[in-house]
Amino acid sequence: MSMSVTSSLLKNADLLLYSSCIEREYPEVVEKQSMDKTALHVCLQERHMDPVGFKVATIIYKSHPRSITVLTMNGSPHCVQLHMAVEQAKQLTNYAGAVKHLVVERGVLIEVSSEAVKAARHLAMVEELLRLARRS
């Protein structure tokens, strides 16, 4: 994510924020998802999520992106943090634009809701959902 938060490329842009590893594993997915978007990548195995979230919040505040798409590998404890950081930045800035969360599972692109990202942060909520599913 080495771009100035006031870059003209970010102003009113459709952003794609993706995990660096996905570009190596599924370059065709990144290529397709980055069409007509300003794409930025980060590895949350190498960077702590706090400065990443701060940067995302500052991008939202300064550049007012039209939309944000988050693309990561499914099941990675590092990658899930990017989804969480974007949701936190959205909340802190009262961002009203569209946010889409995408994960790749064995080559298949899956959209997940903001509610799923929130649930992933709250293990007690996940446990309750699993209990309810077992009862059904």
Give the distance between the most distant pair of CA atoms in the chain: 52
- Predicted local distance difference test score (pLDDT) of residue 6: 87
- The band of 2, judged by pLDDT with boundaries at 50, 70 and 90, is confident
| CA–CA dist 62, 112 (Å, integer) | 27
Regarding the domain delimited by 14-135, which CATH topology (the fold level of the hierarchy) does it fall under? Rossmann fold (3.40.50)
**pLDDT score for 3:** 85
pTM over 0.85: yes
CB 34, CB 56: distance < 8 Å: no
Q: Where are the domains of the chain?
A: 14-135
Task: Quick: pLDDT tens for 48-98.
Answer: 999 999 999 999 999 999 999 999 999 999 999 999 999 999 999 999 999
